[in-house]
Structure 1
Amino acid sequence: MRVKLFAVAAQRVGRDEILVDVASPADVAALKQAVCRQFPQLEPLASQLLVAVDTQYADDAEVVSPQSEVALIPPVSGG
């Protein structure tokens, strides 16, 4: 599944899009676990990441299809 990364998440991985191996269909919680397993540098951010599925924020129970557009969004800070 293709997953877009933003801000510090993209910086930690070194690119703005990753391919994640995850069973299909999967829920957001399973997807986040797979991301952290395959990209351990994102593990410290895991509890703070927001997930957007098809441009809408999604909770951990939402099912994600392989055709969905998925983005991991770290907390926004600044001032």
Structure 2
Amino acid sequence: MDVLYFAWVRERIGLPKERVETSAATVAELVAELTAREERYALAFADLSALRVAVDQELADFEAPLAGVKEVAFFPPMTGG
């Protein structure tokens, strides 16, 4: 699946997007796999309350299932303006 990173998440990880092979069943399990990779991922995902997630371009929560999902995106909360 494609994993996309936006704003400061992208800055901390150093990538805008990557292709990930995973056995994770939920977004939370995917985050755990990514966090275990390297410190830069651990820093980006250190405070999940400061992150939002979209699964196939639909806002979701971290317990969302990943079966059949093509894209997961992580980004900070959006602000109005």
TM class, shorter-length: 0.7 to 0.9
1:3–1:17: 8 Å Cα contact kept in structure 2?
A: yes
The alignment of Structure 1 onto Structure 2 pairs a total of residues equal to 78
- For structure 1, which runs of at least 5 residues remain unmatched after alignment? none
In structure 2, the residue matched to 1:10 is 10
1:20–1:34: 8 Å Cα contact kept in structure 2?
A: no
In structure 1, the residue matched to 2:33 is 34
Amino acid at match of 2:56: D
Secondary structure of 1:3's partner?
A: strand
In structure 2, the residue matched to 1:43 is 45
The alignment's C-alpha RMSD in Å is: 2.4
2:31–2:45: 8 Å Cα contact kept in structure 1?
A: no
Identity of aligned residues (%): 33
Residues 10-67 of structure 1, C-alpha deviations (whole Å, 9 max, x = no match): 011111013445315x111111222222222313343321110011011222211364
Report the TM-score when normalising by structure 1: 0.74
Secondary structure of 1:70's partner?
A: strand
Greater strand share, 1 or 2? Answer: 1
- Where do residues 49-60 of structure 1 align in structure 2 (5 Å cutoff)? 49-60=51-62
Q: Distance in 2 between matches of 1:14 and 1:29?
A: 21
